[in-house]
Structure 1
Amino acid sequence: MSAACRAPRSPNRSLRRSDRSRRGRATLLAAGAAALALTLSACGSGGTSGGSGKTNFITSKDGISTAEKGDRHDAPAIDGETLDGEKLSIDDYKGKVVVLNVWGSWCPPCRAEAPNFKKVSAATKDDVQFVGINARDPEKGPAISFEKDYGIGYPSLYDPMGRLMLRFPKGTLNPQFIPSTVVIDRDGKIAARSQQPLNEEKLRKMVDPLIAEK
């Protein structure tokens, strides 16, 4: 089972007492089973990911998926407002490797991996631009405090509804969990993905080969 965590439920999704009928419970059980099946499928792959032969990327035993240079898809437009209120687009970083880390202040695995992202971002700043995607935080305050607590110096797009993740085409190395990390090569193509919290070694494993692609 993946160490990725799910976003907290928003208040307006709670069930009314009058709706807790036998039919409602059955529907919830069916939905839960479907969600569990999706999670197991996403976390259990170890060879050719996706199982359809159309994905053209490989998932290693450590959960890192990579695509060969000729098989990579164009990254979608990822832009918006940062936690600091500035406008940001990853198109501004063409020519550099871009690391996109999807995180939330409410997510324990995100806190566990944050020091590793701080360290690697500082060590690779000449070749790599790190960009966070802060997802499912209803307010900016906790996310801003998170960045201060861990000394995160790179910007994060504020995405309270999690919509930026949906811009990635299905069947590509699209992020599906929080935390997720996607690495985009110098040509703006999706090159690698992890859907688990990363230590320093695994993060460098994703980034270093793309730095070398000059």
Structure 2
Amino acid sequence: MAAVAALSLSACGNGGTSGGGGNTNFVTGNNGIDTAARGERAAAPDLSGKTIDGKTLDVADYKGKVVVINVWGSWCGPCREEAQYFAKVSKAYEGKDVQFVGINTRDTSTTPAVAFEKEHGIGYPSLYDPTGRLMLRFKKGTLNPQLIPSTLVLDRDGNVAARALEALDDTALLKMLKPVLAEK
């Protein structure tokens, strides 16, 4: 319950710094994007469940592709600002070994989440996580989502390669995605 309360306090932010101390094996860039070197990346936790449209989704099924995960809520102003860019980049990278997945959090029902995706042209699936339990699965001191919105890029092995704790435009999103996509 304390973790959920802490998560609630950090919701809908415009940036922040990573938690944890000591050697975290990641580098904080001056553009708000944290990255981890290929050999020092933590595996993403189990990110599976029901989507906002009632289907079942498991992010692990996308192993072999680069996965962009965007944590968002329909009630979040910065999420509304960045949605157009996620829609644009996800369409541009369709069929190019990239899968976008949303994690809708803290909406009390799926109705506003479905309306949000329709309004903003989001064509990729979003897990429905009203209590933030999926975010809490990430280990402290890793590139974990700590704010809403947060964006993660998983490499082809399912490890967290990059994270942003702020709303992104298409330029910043591509700065996260392109280096990971270029890895072979």
Please give the TM-score of this superposition, normalised by the length of structure 2.
Answer: 0.89
**Which one of 151, 158, 165 corresponds to residue 121 of structure 2?**
151
Sort the Cα spacing of 1:139 and 1:66 in 2 relative to 1 into closer, same or farther, 3 A: same
1:51 Cα deviation from its structure 2 partner: 7.4
Which protein has greater RCO, CA pairs closer than 8 Å, 6+ apart?
Answer: 2
Matches of 1:99 and 1:204, distance apart in 2 = 10
Contact 2:135 2:145 in 1 (8 A): yes
* 1:194 correspondence with 2:164: yes
1:173 corresponds to: 143
- Residue identity in the other structure for 1:78: L
- Residue 67 (structure 2) aligned to one of 92, 98, 116: 98
Q: Judging changes above 3 Å, is the alpha-carbon distance between structure 1 residues 73 and 141 closer, same or farther for their aligned structure 2 residues?
A: same
- 1:135 maps to 2:102: no
Q: Distance in 2 between matches of 1:212 and 1:202?
A: 16
* Alpha-carbon offset, residue 122 of structure 1: 1.0
Shift in CA distance, 201/141, structure 1 to aligned 2, threshold 3 Å: same
Quote the offset at 1:52 in angstroms. Answer: 3.3
- The number of equivalent residue pairs is 175
Report the 3-state secondary structure (helix = DSSP H, G, I; strand = E; otherwise coil) of the residue aligned with 2:147.
coil
Hey, what's the Cα distance between the residues in 2 that align with 1:133 and 1:113? Answer: 14
Contact 2:19/2:140 (<8 A) preserved: no
Q: Which runs of 5+ in 2 are unaligned?
A: none
**Once the 2 structures are TM-superposed, how far is the Cα of residue 127 of structure 1 from its aligned partner?**
1.6
Q: 1:85 to 1:51 in 2, by over 3 A?
A: closer
Q: Is the 8 A contact 2:82 2:169 kept in 1?
A: yes
- TM-score with structure 1 setting the length: 0.77
Instruction: Tell me how far 1:53 sits from its aligned partner.
Output: 3.4
Moved over 4 A (4+): none
50 and 144 in structure 1: CA distance in 2 versus 1, 3 angstrom threshold: closer
Give identity over the alignment, percent.
Answer: 61
- Greater per-residue helix proportion: 1
Question: For 2:64 and 2:181, how far apart are their aligned partners in 1?
Answer: 10
SS at match of 1:198: coil
**Deviation digits for residues 23-74 of structure 1 (CA, Å, limit 9, x no counterpart):** xxxxxxxx9xxx68xx8xx72x5xxx65733201011111100000011011
2:176 is equivalent to residue 206 of structure 1: yes
Query: Over the residues paired in the alignment, what is the CA RMSD in angstroms?
Result: 2.0
Q: Which amino acid aligns with 2:64?
A: G
Instruction: Select which of 6, 20, 33 maps to 1:64.
Output: 33
